Structure 1
Amino acid sequence: MQRFEALDAARFLAYCGMVLVNFRIAAQVVPGQDWASGFIDALEGRAAALFVILAGIGVGLARLSVSLLLRRAAFLFVLGLINMTVFDADILHFYALYFLIGAAFLASSPRGLWLGALGIVGLSALAHLIFDYDRGWDWSTLTYTDLWTLPGFLRNAVFNGWHPVLPWAAFLLIGMAIGRSQLHTICIQHRLIMWGFGAAVLALFPRILVSDPYLGTASIPPGPFYILAGTGSSCVVIGLLLKLWPRIQRLGIAAALTAPGRISLTLYVAHILIGMGILDEAGLLNGSLSAVQILGYGVGFCVASSGFALVWRRRFHRGPLEALMRFVTDRSRA
């Protein structure tokens, strides 16, 4: 059970990173040169990548059926569309599309999953050669002009949205492959740490040699070396948590990390509706906040999320949205 608890903790850390990044986007904070901006910059694209890889690991560990995975995809797609009316950078409807890809690979071997991930990255690179990545975007306001039209929605979802299927679905397949390894063994944990660190460092070199943004490690546009960097950093975090989990338990902070990780779907929606809602009611979604202020508010919200999860888990086994998803998609096990 230690490996599952460590993955729950990793999920909470990914959630915290996404909170900081999304709060900065919503508050229209202009990136600066201070340490807080640099810290949030380092999380951008990495936290969400860890979130998706962990979802893939969950699919790999759970051995879900195709029909159940598709029903969960439908649930997340509807929830994501609702969430998009509040926050355009929603990731849930993208999750649903990743699950469609994952369903096609459920019976694949780890090697097949890695090859599938490489194929998705290759298709993404081909798409960038053929299509205009900037189409639909107003980069000055970070808005997508034709998002709610069918052509615009499909383009955004598959090619040039915040987390498009090409190439983000590769993270899910990579997670599925990792989930089918012996995560409880020291050997696999060391491989995750060492190979992950090597991949993250290797991904930095092309950008040093060539000025093309597509060959960089930024999530926009998401090039192949971004996928390499995101996978590498995620593997390091997962490997370290798996290896160090017994020590973390002895520190007495394990429950504060695992409880929110187990209700991350509920907390993700809450950080948009409640966290951003508070900023909106206070009139702070206008670029008036600094990166340091966003960092403080975001960390405070994450601490509050952990406290809420600890209280909730004392009485309920699942979070509200997790229970609703299970009831809607898998009534026989509700």
Structure 2
Amino acid sequence: MAIPHRIFGSGSRDGWAAARLVGIDLARGLAVFGMYAVHVGPRDGEGVVGSVMDFAFGRSSVLFAVITGFSLILITGRNPPKSTLAGRQAIAKIAIRALILLALGEILTYVNAPVSVILAYYGVCFLLVLPLYRLSAQRLGLLAAVTALVLPQVRFLLLKMLGSGSSDPEVFTLLVSGTYPALTWVPLLIAGMAIARLDLRTRAMHLRLGIAGVALAVLGFGGSWLALHLMPSVSAELANLQEHDVSPHHWWMLDVDRLTASWLWIASPHSETTFWIFGSAGCAMIIVAACSLAMDALPFVRKLVSPIVAVGSMPLTAYLLHILGIFMLGRAHSLSALFGFIVVVSAFAVLWLRLFPRGPMEALMGWIADRATRRPLARVSDRQ
């Protein structure tokens, strides 16, 4: 079964070999299952299960963000970027997708969705990174590093100066104080855009991508560990927070008034620090490289992972299905609940793709974007 490459309704192969596109969908499918693990999987597990659950927390969403940046470049053209009418259409389609995601995110939040909805934040990030679509891999990589170094500190200062609460303006929530603040998630999308600009037609480049990911992970998580061990006063402040029954996995929920500059040295999930961005982005790069290498070097594995690839080709549909499932069934937080979600959504994705080329939500979003951009932009082209 040939699985088409899609991200929230995109549809450009851009000259890539099918195996490499399947590798991207495989990585995205794993991100979906990681998200399921966070939302319905067992908590406080031990052994292998506990390690897998801990790894998924805060990293599945980062993997999504990196691949989303990657896919934005596929839509706007890799080498070279699209120009003239095709370029304007690609930009307009992404902008419309961003607005749809914003609307969906706000609706789900309004109806009290049972999870922290990321869609609106993604919509904001789409709009923020869209002007960068023509930059080279080197410039995008440099910009990703600079924003990862600067923006977490900017966000921290804004939180300390302006505070945070339920009465925050929506723009401030989406950019600064929310669960997935755009200020600290934009570097992840830019990193994905930089990866998409690389010449990934060879295994050697995938290996380099994996090695670069390892280096970033060591820099982020290892750098945080080293800093905390070299600065006893910082470690003491953070230990004091833990004495108040705040585990590292829940530090992101702390009241902003309790945060000090010591926070900026940690790399815990959703801490929104420079160390966390570097470390988590490195993990995402490792997974993308490993999936692409596996699909390229081991074609027989493709059939085994085809259900995961199918889910990865319709991420918005899979995301909304799991929210609907939690609405209907509640959050059991068990291995059986996680297994059930994975099996049901995988079966749906495989069966759907036997009949249609795209997931239902991806097709709908693509149709809306096509209808909204084709005629207006064509008229602009005719006048020119």
Measured against the shorter chain, the TM-score band is 0.7 to 0.9
Give yes or no for the alignment of 1:217 onto 2:267.
yes
Equivalent residues in 2 for 1:1-334 (5 A)? 1-23=18-40, 31=44, 35-63=48-76, 65-84=90-109, 85=111, 86-87=113-114, 89-121=116-148, 122-132=150-160, 135-136=163-164, 146=166, 149=167, 151-208=168-225, 209-210=227-228, 211=235, 212-246=262-296, 248-251=298-301, 252-274=303-325, 276-280=326-330, 285=331, 294-331=334-371
Deviation at 1:129, TM superposition (A): 3.1
Q: Is the 8 A contact 1:196 1:236 kept in 2?
A: yes
Aligned to 2:4: none
TM-score w.r.t. length of structure 2: 0.74
Taking a change above 3 Å as real, the CA distance of residues 115 and 247 of structure 1, as seen in their structure-2 partners, is closer
Deviation at 1:31, TM superposition (A): 3.8
Residue aligning to 1:142: none
Code of the aligned partner of 1:306: S
Runs of at least 5 residues in structure 1 that lack an aligned partner in the other structure: 137-144
Bigger shift: 122-131 or 218-227? 122-131
Identity %: 28
CA-to-aligned-CA distance 1:249-296 (integer Å, 9 cap, x gap): 31321422221111111010110111x12432xxxx4xxx5xxx5233
Deviation at 1:184, TM superposition (A): 2.2
- Aligned-CA RMSD value: 2.3
Answer yes or no: is the 8 Å Cα contact 2:20–2:296 preserved in 1: no
Q: Measure how far apart 1:67 and its partner are.
A: 1.6
Q: In structure 2, how many angstroms separate the alpha carbons of the residues matched to 1:328 and 1:130? A: 37
Unaligned runs of 5+ in 2: 1-17, 78-89, 229-234, 236-261, 375-384
Aligned-partner Cα distance in 1 for 2:34–2:115 = 18
Q: What residue identity is the alignment partner of 1:186?
A: R
Specify the structure having the higher radius of gyration (Cα): 2
Identify the residue that residue 141 of structure 1 maps to in structure 2: none
Which amino acid is 1:264 matched to? P
Helix, strand or coil for the counterpart of 1:330?
helix
* Separation of aligned partners in 1, 2:161 and 2:173: 10
Cα distance in 1 for partners of 2:338, 2:172 equals 31
1:127 shift after superposition: 2.7
- 8 Å CA contact 1:259, 1:309 repeated in 2: yes
* Alpha-carbon distance in structure 2 between the residues aligned to 1:272 and 1:234: 24
